[in-house]
């Protein structure tokens, strides 16, 4: 680690973070492509919630808020997680076009770069999450949770931050947009190897076995509980979310140091 990175003050850390966040947020909202992370979740949500509505009548399916809300929670978490992945793509692009090298040379505290990308990703997630939520309300989703919805928002925020830090680490290690599949594939696998269509207790076979050990299942079930006003697995879900953020924060800072040694 360079002396510049080690000696950066707290003020420098936040100044760098705000500068990076401002640039990234401006890039997102001036380019219609910033909506891309919401498109696939919207497609899946409309297809699943509309085409599989009768699944809500299957014996044993007792989710209080209905099948539309059941699918909405998964689509929302997918939207914000993929938003984090797209932030990783943007970081890789910054390395390819040389901006990241100039940024690292100019930053008084380079760790602020990671925070800046996370802040921009949260802004992006707020927009894509709002789009998914508005569509769900338009087609008749019921929200039964009242103030419990804030618990759902907390889990959504943790999912976005964890995915962003994971993507940032991969992007800083590879420093090319060819890192896209490496960022995207693990997130897709975690999302889809969970109880997407029915509750865990209605799954069977290999999918039930994988979903039961998938940490995202606990987060998903807790988020659905918040929306239905029937919180469950709250502490384990937030514990998993916080642990993922901590692990991937370390991962992204490790990747940042590797990028520093490589000269950006």
What integer is the mean pLDDT of 90-118? 88
Residue pLDDT, tens place only, 16-57: 999 999 988 888 878 766 666 667 777 777 777 666 666 666
Token pair for 224: 């659905």
What integer is the mean pLDDT of 101-123? 90
Cα separation, 62 vs 55, whole angstroms: 11
Residue ranges per structural domain of the chain: 9-261
Three-state DSSP string of 62-82: CCCCCHHHHHHHHHHHHHHHH
Measured N-to-C along each axis, helices 67-96 and 99-106 cross at an angle, to the nearest 10 degrees, of 80
Residue pLDDT, tens place only, 159-185: 999 999 999 999 999 998 888 889 989
Q: What is the pLDDT of residue 35?
A: 64
27 compared with 254, residue with greater pLDDT: 254
Q: Which distant-in-sequence residues (6+ apart) come within 8 Å of 179 by Cβ?
A: 88, 89, 92, 170, 171, 173
Q: What is the pLDDT of residue 37?
A: 61
Residue 83 three-state SS:
helix
pTM over 0.85: yes
Residue pLDDT, tens place only, 208-251: 999 999 999 999 999 999 999 999 999 999 999 999 999 999 99
Residue pLDDT, tens place only, 123-150: 988 988 998 899 888 888 888 878 899 9
Percent of the chain surpassing pLDDT 70: 89
pLDDT at residue 78 greater than cutoff 70: yes
Neighbours of 233 (CB within 10 A): 18
């Amino acid at each position: 680690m360079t002396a510049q990175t080690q000696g950066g003050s707290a003020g420098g850390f936040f100044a760098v973070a705000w500068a990076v966040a401002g640039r990234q947020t401006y890039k997102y909202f001036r380019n219609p492509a910033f909506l891309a992370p919401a498109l696939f979740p919207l497609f899946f949500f409309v297809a699943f919630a509309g085409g599989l509505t009768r699944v809500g009548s299957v014996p044993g399916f007792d989710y209080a808020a209905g099948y539309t809300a059941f699918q909405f929670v998964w689509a929302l978490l997918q939207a914000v997680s993929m938003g984090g992945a797209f932030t990783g793509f943007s970081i890789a692009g910054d390395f390819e076009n040389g901006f990241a090298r100039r940024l690292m040379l100019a930053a008084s505290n380079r760790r602020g770069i990671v925070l800046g990308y996370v802040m921009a990703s949260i802004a992006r997630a707020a927009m894509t999450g709002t789009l998914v939520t508005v569509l769900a309300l338009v087609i008749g989703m019921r929200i039964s949770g009242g103030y419990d919805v804030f618990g759902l928002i907390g889990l959504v925020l943790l999912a976005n931050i964890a995915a962003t830090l994971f993507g940032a680490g991969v992007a800083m290690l590879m420093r090319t947009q060819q890192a896209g599949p490496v960022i995207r594939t693990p997130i897709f696998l975690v999302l889809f190897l969970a109880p997407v269509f029915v509750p865990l207790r209605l799954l069977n076979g290999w999918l039930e076995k994988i979903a039961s050990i998938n940490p995202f299942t606990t987060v998903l079930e807790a988020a659905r509980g918040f929306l239905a006003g029937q919180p469950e697995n709250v502490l384990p879900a937030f514990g998993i979310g916080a642990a993922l953020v901590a692990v991937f924060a370390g991962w992204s800072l490790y990747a940042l140091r590797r990028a520093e040694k490589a000269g950006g």
